[in-house]
Amino acid sequence: MNCFIAFDQELQNSELPYFFTNPFNYQPHKLCEEASIILQKKLQLNNETRKGKMFGVLVVQQADNTLGFIAAYSGNEGDVISSFPFVPQVFNVTNPNGFFRMGEAELNAINRKVDDLIVSSELHSLRTGFEEKKASAAQQLRTVKENNKKAKQLRDERRRNATDDELKAIIRESQTEKSNLHKLKKQLKVECDVLNEQIAAVEKRVSALKALRKQKSAELQKKLLNHYVFANANGERKSAWDIFKEFNNTVPPAGTGDCAAPKLLQYAYLNKLRPIAMAEFWWGPSPKKEIRKHGYFYPACKSKCEPVLGHMLKGLEIEPEKENDSLELELLYEDESIVIVNKPSGLLSVPGKEMDDSVYTRLQKLYPEATGPMIVHRLDMATSGILVVTKTKGAHEQLQKQFRDKTVKKIYTALLDGIIDGEVGIIELPLRVDLDDRPRQLVDFEYGKPAITSWKVDQKTENYTRILFYPVTGRTHQLRIHAAHHDGLNTPIVGDELYGIKKERLLLHASHIEFKHPATDQIMSFDCPADF
């Protein structure tokens, strides 16, 4: 099936970007926006909102220079409109006669055997019998011991006036009781051991089936990932298994290769289409844990797509990251113990894996005589505002304790991308890292850490809400998620590329902090108003 959709004549002569999209940091090109509008109209027409899903568009050029796009969706479900020419899967994992579905059927059969054994009447009867036998044995032993105790008391009374022959008889009685108790213990233990061995035999069968299931699952997964073979612009091909082994020597997570971006690039390479620009957007209801807004554009996921796209983008000129050299670090206050800075948006608090420039490295050069850890707390790279830095180990320990004890008072100013209801409130949504898409965070009431934010509206305009956040806890991305999540304020912060719509910068600013000076115990208060 031909999945290419040509643009109308008006768009055929559009100016094309020089660089291809950096899928992890981009703003949609206008041609991607046009392609998305075409696809979204089709999705709207077919009422494709029952289940939220990530869709992608790739603007491409045919050999005759005809400009158009191809489209895909993440996942391998077949519940998306069949009338639209979405690109196929990189590997048809859903083929009912293929090795993967047959392997799944084998694993399901093992699962059923495991479940049947675990809930079987045989195992239930054995466990019940074992518990009853243990209880009965314990009761028998208690009764015998109580009787022996009473008999001993009677023998002790008889000993007072007993003759030699009577003493010998008393001793034989005592020895007989001890011997009988020992025999009873041994007999009851044998009876319990028999039942226990029968239980262990069934559990051994369960363990063997689970081990077989694990082995079969690993073999099937490896075989599958070796069938996901990805091309790139240089004409090279490599399996998902080999890509991840070279990237970080890990096993690719489930679903690798089924995201929209790899599907789009694969189809383009195999069909001699020149990739121009790419974008992905969410369509439909938001997941319960993640923050995905209907119609918003999002970067590609990290865990599945970063290694794969790292291979697939070879041979394309990728849009470079913006340099941070122009970001100025403003000093607000300094003394012998502390430094207060105004961190600009876009500068890291501490060095990252791929970027050394940070508040820490700059101040390290500025204060080479500093004797202790300098960074006490952090701000997200995208967040601007007040950051407290220490020059000595003692100051660091004292301030760190204040942060740990939650005695430091902080206020953040943010501009929300919409009008919210209410004027004040408290948000309590526990958070944890999204293991499949770092550094994104998830709302998780089972495994998340407590995250609490108080808020107050500062000003409302026609389209925006300026708000003050008073964080009680300090979780990663706490304010950003509490603003964007549908159980929070349901309105992302302006410029939030992870949970909202990317713009020039994130409009979140640490505007106030109050703490005790680590050397003098004097209350220190600093304000740095937001410039938005």
Classified as helix, coil or strand, 529 is: coil
CA separation for the pair 242, 307 (Å, rounded): 10
356 is catalytic: no
How far lies 82's CA from each of 9, 46, 458, in Å?
A: 26, 10, 48
CA separation for the pair 186, 146 (Å, rounded): 18
CA separation for the pair 135, 157 (Å, rounded): 34
CA separation for the pair 319, 21 (Å, rounded): 6
CA separation for the pair 327, 324 (Å, rounded): 5
Look up tokens 């109580």; give the residue: 146
> Residue type for 504, please?
E
Note the residue count of the chain. 532
Judge whether 84 and 39 are in contact, CB under 8 Å.
yes
CA 313 to chain centre: 25
DSSP characters over 5-47: EEPPHHHHTPPPPSSBP-TTS----HHHHHHHHHHHHHHHHTT
Q: Choose, from 258, 380, 437, 496, the residue flagged as catalytic.
A: 380
Classified as helix, coil or strand, 193 is: helix
Judge residue 160's burial from the number of C-beta atoms within 10 Å of its C-beta, 0-12 exposed, 13-18 middle, 19 or more buried: exposed
CA separation for the pair 195, 190 (Å, rounded): 9
CA separation for the pair 473, 340 (Å, rounded): 21
CA separation for the pair 15, 217 (Å, rounded): 49
How far lies 102's CA from each of 220, 227, 240, in Å?
A: 10, 15, 21
Q: Which residues are annotated as catalytic? A: 380
